[in-house]
């Protein structure tokens, strides 16, 4: 990576995965959006996606970037000598029995794609995507997402994955500690854990939140027609996984998870976690 793009020569894999690399996200670039909207069936290569941000101004602190995940995908392929899809199948999806989770760097075969619901783009913030508004994009190529989100799955499989990942059944202790090591999304600096004063943290591709529901792990993935959010609550072992087939400007999926959690607490199925209130003026 350093040889191909000297401006990123000092970026480590850790900084790619905790989103402090300074590398902007390709899907935020008008040129990419224009090209995608012109042909949603186009097959983008990883190199083409990265090229959209070569020479773009660097970001600072914590800045979420899908380019980071695509670069990580390229590193996996360079190190292993095989495709990213093959590594996912051999190391994770097969051994873990995630039979309804599928990755493909372009379009999924009919046997998989036909099981998808329609997914509608309804955003208005990106002017380049106006031609897609109201269209079903479920059968469009996922090559634009690749290692950043080219996966189809079910709520059942995501629930299994979350339990394996966060409960420490997947990785050795040292690697688990690395996975869960956090930076503050407000400052980009390392933190031990989130808190009411600093409520959002990001690890190596995972996220921690502290709010009225307590301190828990959560992650939302989104493409142009779908959203998926899982939340893992360590104290109770509760996992909430929600998938929606739309991508609007106002994303209320977190409010939906909160409503589910509050309902479970009200019914006595989950014990509420007390979170210390932030004193007035704290964190300013």
| Per-residue pLDDT reduced to its tens digit, 226-258 | 999 999 999 999 999 999 998 888 889 999 999
pTM of the model: 0.92
Distance in angstroms (rounded) separating the CA atoms of residues 183 and 169: 23
Task: Give me Rg for the CA atoms of the chain.
Answer: 19
Dihedral angle sign, alpha carbons of residues 79, 106, 163, 71:
positive
Tell me which CATH code domain 6-148 carries. 3.40.710.10
Q: Which of 64, 28, 71, 70 is nearest to 200 (CA)?
A: 64
Q: Span 187-212, mean pLDDT?
A: 97
pLDDT at residue 65 in the model? 98
Q: Are 4 and 51 in contact (CB under 8 A)?
A: no
Tell me which CATH code domain 155-266 carries. 3.40.710.10
Dihedral angle sign, alpha carbons of residues 13, 16, 21, 24:
positive
Tens of pLDDT, residues 30-51: 999 999 999 999 999 999 999 9
In the predicted structure, residue 273 carries a pLDDT above the cut 50: yes
In the predicted structure, residue 133 carries a pLDDT above the cut 80: yes
Q: Span 258-264, mean pLDDT?
A: 96
Q: Which two tokens stand for residue 140?
A: 């469009």
Q: Which two tokens stand for residue 91?
A: 């190391």
In CATH terms, are 6-148 and 155-266 the same topology? yes
Which stretches of 17-127 are assigned E, i.e. beta strand? 102-103, 120-121
Distance in angstroms (rounded) separating the CA atoms of residues 51 and 69: 14
Distance in angstroms (rounded) separating the CA atoms of residues 60 and 183: 13
User: Any residues with CB less than 8 A from the CB of 60 and at least 6 apart, and which?
Assistant: 22, 188
pLDDT at residue 280 in the model? 43
As a whole number, the mean pLDDT across the chain is 91
Domain boundaries, the chain: 6-148, 155-266
């Amino acid at each position: 990576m350093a040889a191909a793009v000297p401006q990123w020569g000092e970026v480590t894999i850790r900084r790619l995965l905790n989103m402090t690399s300074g590398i902007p996200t390709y899907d935020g670039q008008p040129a990419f959006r224009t090209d995608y909207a012109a042909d949603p069936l186009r097959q983008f290569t990883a190199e083409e996606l990265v090229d959209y941000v070569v020479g773009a101004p660097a970001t600072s602190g914590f800045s979420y970037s899908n380019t980071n995940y695509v670069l990580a995908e390229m590193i996996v392929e360079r190190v292993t000598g095989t495709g990213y899809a093959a590594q996912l199948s051999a190391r994770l999806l097969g051994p873990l029995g995630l039979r309804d989770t599928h990755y493909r760097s372009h379009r999924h075969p009919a046997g998989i794609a036909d099981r998808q619901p329609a997914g509608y783009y309804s955003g208005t913030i990106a002017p380049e995507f106006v031609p897609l508004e109201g269209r079903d994009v479920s059968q469009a190529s996922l090559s634009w997402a690749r290692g950043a989100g080219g996966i189809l799955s079910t709520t059942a499989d995501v629930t299994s994955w979350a339990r394996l990942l966060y409960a420490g059944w997947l990785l050795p202790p040292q690697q688990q500690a690395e996975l869960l090591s956090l930076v503050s999304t407000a400052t980009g600096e390392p933190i031990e854990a989130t808190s009411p004063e600093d409520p959002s943290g990001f690890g190596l591709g995972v996220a921690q939140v502290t709010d009225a529901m307590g301190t828990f792990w959560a992650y939302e993935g989104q493409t142009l027609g779908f959203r998926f959010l899982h939340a893992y609550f360590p104290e109770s072992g509760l996992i909430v996984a929600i998938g929606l087939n739309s991508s609007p400007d106002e994303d209320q999926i977190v409010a939906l998870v909160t409503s589910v959690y509050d309902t479970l607490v009200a019914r006595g199925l989950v014990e509420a976690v007390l979170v210390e209130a932030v004193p007035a003026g704290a964190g300013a």
